């Protein structure tokens, strides 16, 4: 089943198709591909984007709608793994990307902050470490020691991240695609690419995250397709959750739409082996978990109006793979955000465009696919 987000009617894309050769061909019409197409088209490049389904038909229109700064690992981990300067630069980059999303997305984005919750003493320790690191490096962040009902007694402390927000992700990415088309990008929906060799273009950008399948065989065993499942309820009587909430290392996440629907997902850890899958379908086990959790969060039984699944790409170190495919400089990858691609994908799509325009940003160096594929 398609997602609640994608079920909203899509306005027609402005027509901007051109005949003949493109300079850059992009595979994938999610947030990464559309962001890359917009940046290239604005720079006057003849760019053609191929999307097998519809714009945002992959993870970009099926996700939880959390727009968070940073990468999949926490900030304190990133400082250790990437070094303080690079971690700081990366977090700042994603904060600027959030500012840009706010400028472009209109009513598809609500900048409400987010709450990262501690489900036990161990997670509270991890959150305190991340909070200390963020504060030490001058980022806006608040510690919440005691949560109010109905979260009191269930969670034991939280970080409030003020720059974050919530998206209607399909509406947002459709807008991004429309901006790219208005700037001159040739956006082709229902245009499946069967082989990169068949594509025209001096450069090719593969922006397929968890959906690439066998398009780049080198990624087999390096980029793991991972399934996420989500539900949305009928409107609740009250808006209990004013901003996105996530806890248990991101295995539980939810927020409430302005019309008071609870959007809730996660619980992948209940069946980890089964959820490393590229099958875009819900399963009774995870859905039962989500149903129970929705009722607990609402404090009453709830009506589920839609259920769906989506696939994202996971990497071993949970940082994305962004850069040229080793041994083939014609092909660039921007993929593998490990479940954290709404803001990172937007930022990386633009950074890939900048690299192709001869303006590489050193911030991409740690994401070089050669670290995993070389």
Ligand X SMILES: Cc1cc2nc3c(=O)[nH]c(=O)nc-3n(C[C@H](O)[C@H](O)[C@H](O)COP(=O)(O)OP(=O)(O)OC[C@H]3O[C@@H](n4cnc5c(N)ncnc54)[C@H](O)[C@@H]3O)c2cc1C
- Nearer to ligand X by Cβ, of 72 and 151: the residue is 72
**Closest to 191 in 3D by CA, of 22, 361, 357:** 22
Tell me which of 75, 91, 139, 312 binds ligand X, using CB under 6 A: 312
Polymer length in residues for the chain: 374
Tell me which of 4, 6, 24, 32 binds ligand X, using CB under 6 A: 32
- Nearer to ligand X by Cβ, of 151 and 207: the residue is 207
Beta carbons of 231 and 65 less than 8 angstroms apart? no
- Hey, how many other C-beta atoms are within 10 angstroms of the C-beta on 184? 18
281 binds ligand X (CB under 6 A): no
- Nearer to ligand X by Cβ, of 121 and 198: the residue is 198
315 binds ligand X (CB under 6 A): no
337 binds ligand X (CB under 6 A): yes
Beta carbons of 145 and 157 less than 8 angstroms apart? yes
**Closest to 340 in 3D by CA, of 2, 78, 125, 99:** 78
129, exposed or middle or buried, with CB in 10 Å at 0-12, 13-18, 19+? Answer: middle
- Nearer to ligand X by Cβ, of 208 and 233: the residue is 208
Instruction: Give the β-pairing of 47-50 and 24-27.
Output: parallel
* Shortest Cβ 287–ligand X spacing (Å): 13
Stretch that binds ligand X, among 10-18, 29-37, 111-119, 178-186 (CB under 6 A): 29-37
Quick check: helix, strand or coil at residue 222? coil
Tell me which of 53, 124, 160, 318 binds ligand X, using CB under 6 A: 53
CA distance 121 to 56: 38
Stretch that binds ligand X, among 16-24, 92-100, 105-113, 201-209 (CB under 6 A): 201-209
Residues 222-261 that bind ligand X (CB under 6 A): 228, 230
Quick check: helix, strand or coil at residue 76? helix
Instruction: Lay out the sheet containing 142-144: strands in order across.
Output: 142-144, 158-161, 114-117, 245-247, 252-256, 262-266, 224-233, 304-314
How many residues touch ligand X (CB under 6 A)? Answer: 44
* Shortest Cβ 39–ligand X spacing (Å): 14
Stretch that binds ligand X, among 53-61, 93-101, 127-135, 157-165 (CB under 6 A): 53-61
Distance of CA 315 to the CA centre of its chain: 14
- Residue ranges that bind ligand X, judged by CB under 6 A: 27-33, 50-53, 57-60, 62-66, 68, 192-193, 207-212, 215, 228, 230, 265, 310-312, 335, 337, 339-343, 345
């Amino acid at each position: 089943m398609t997602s609640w987000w994608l079920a909203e009617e899509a306005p027609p894309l402005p027509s901007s198709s051109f005949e003949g050769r493109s300079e850059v061909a992009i595979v994938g019409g999610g947030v990464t591909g559309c962001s890359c197409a917009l940046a290239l088209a604005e720079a006057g490049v003849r760019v053609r984007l191929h999307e097998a389904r519809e714009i945002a038909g992959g993870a970009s229109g099926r996700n939880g709608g959390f727009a968070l700064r940073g990468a999949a690992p926490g900030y304190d981990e990133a400082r250790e793994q990437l070094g303080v300067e690079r971690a700081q630069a990366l977090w700042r980059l994603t904060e600027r990307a959030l500012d840009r999303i706010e400028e472009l997305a209109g009513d598809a984005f609500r900048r409400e902050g987010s709450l990262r919750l501690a489900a036990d003493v161990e997670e509270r320790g991890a959150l305190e470490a991340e909070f200390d690191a963020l504060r030490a490096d001058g980022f806006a962040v608040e510690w919440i020691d005691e949560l109010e009902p109905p979260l009191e007694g269930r969670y034991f402390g939280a970080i409030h991240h003020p720059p974050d927000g919530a998206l209607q992700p399909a509406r947002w990415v459709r807008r991004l695609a429309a901006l790219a088309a208005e700037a001159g990008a040739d956006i082709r929906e229902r245009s499946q690419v069967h082989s990169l060799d068949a594509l025209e273009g001096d450069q090719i950008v593969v922006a397929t995250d968890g959906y690439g399948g066998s398009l780049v065989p080198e990624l087999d065993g390096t980029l793991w397709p991972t399934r996420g499942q989500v539900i949305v309820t009928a409107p609740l009587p009250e808006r209990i959750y004013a901003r996105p909430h996530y806890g248990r290392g991101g295995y539980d996440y939810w927020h409430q739409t302005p019309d008071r629907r609870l959007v809730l997902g996660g619980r992948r850890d209940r069946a980890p082996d089964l959820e490393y899958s590229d099958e875009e379908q819900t399963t009774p086990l995870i859905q039962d978990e989500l149903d129970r959790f929705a009722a607990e969060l609402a404090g009453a039984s709830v009506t589920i109006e839609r259920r769906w699944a989506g696939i994202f790409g996971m990497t071993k170190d949970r940082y994305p793979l962004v850069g040229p495919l080793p041994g083939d400089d014609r092909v660039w990858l921007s993929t593998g955000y490990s479940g954290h691609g709404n803001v990172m994908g937007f930022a990386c799509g633009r950074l890939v465009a900048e690299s192709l325009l001869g303006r590489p940003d050193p911030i991409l160096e740690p994401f070089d696919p050669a670290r995993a594929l070389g």
